[in-house]
Amino acid sequence: MTVLTAFAQADRSQVRRGNRDFRKEKYQEAEINYKKALVTDSLSNAAGYNLGNTFFRMENFTEADKYYSSVADSLGKEKHGSDIYHNMGNSLLSQKKYAEAIEAFKNSLRRNPDDMETKSNLAYAQKMLQDQQQNQDQNQDQNQDQNQNQDQDQDQDQNRDRNKDQDQNDNKDQDKNQDQDQNQDQNKDNNDDKQDRRGGETPPPKITPQAAQQMLQAIQEKEKETQEKVKKEKALLLKSKQKEKNW
């Protein structure tokens, strides 16, 4: 019993040191103290949860998810269970994992249905997921249109090549006929130095494909729209406050 009590006291002492560093925004020092607490007690919910908050503040969202997930099942049943899932949702939202963020916010609301901040974040995640799916559908449609335009351009090139070959053959026939006419004229009148020469070329049809230019304009507009959406997303995300409540 004495040994267990000593371990528990050491765990709480290291967590408290980490909390002090966290409040002073000394996140690296806080990380060290929370990890020391986990070395003392690998099942320390307070150390695991607070480490998740610390990594979130350092924008290391992968590590934040790791520690949030490690304590979610046990803390989810306690008084502040909604907070852990709220913070998990924010971390996933920062990584644009919108479907997973939605589920985390729903878990938070199951434990605290009246939390307006979580409701707002849930609505935002749902909107971003909808936009993401619409963008994917639009990109698929654009790829299909681009493939169709490429096929049309290939057909046009093939038609131009065929027309060019036909014109070359026609010119060869005309030259051959010209030579025959000249020989006939020479045979009829050797004293006549004037010869009628006939010839001509039919230029290949000029086809100006506009599909490529239209596709380029569409891509440029899409990039501009995406950049504006990213800026808007970052601005809204900053408004979402993390529920720290370090223990």
Domain spans in the chain, listed from the N-terminal domain onward: 1-150+210-247
pLDDT tens digits, 55-92: 999 999 999 999 999 999 888 887 778 999 999 999 99
Residues in Cβ contact with 82 at an 8 Å cutoff, skipping those fewer than 6 apart: 108, 109, 111, 112, 115, 118
pLDDT of residue 132: 92
Residue labelled with tokens 């010869």: 195
Contacts of 36 (CB under 8 A, 6+ apart): 14
How much of the chain, in percent, has pLDDT values that exceed 90?
Answer: 42
pLDDT score for 170: 63
Give the per-residue pLDDT at 227. Answer: 76
Q: What is the pLDDT of residues 184-236, one digit of tens each?
A: 555 555 544 444 444 444 444 454 566 666 667 777 787 777 777 766 665 55
Query: Are the C-beta atoms of residues 88 and 68 closer than 8 Å to each other?
Result: yes
Q: Which one of 1.25.40.10, 3.40.50.620, 1.20.120.450, 1.10.10.60 gives the CATH number of domain 1-150+210-247?
A: 1.25.40.10
On whether the pTM is more than 0.75, the answer is no
Give Cβ neighbours of residue 192 (< 8 Å, ≥ 6 apart): 185
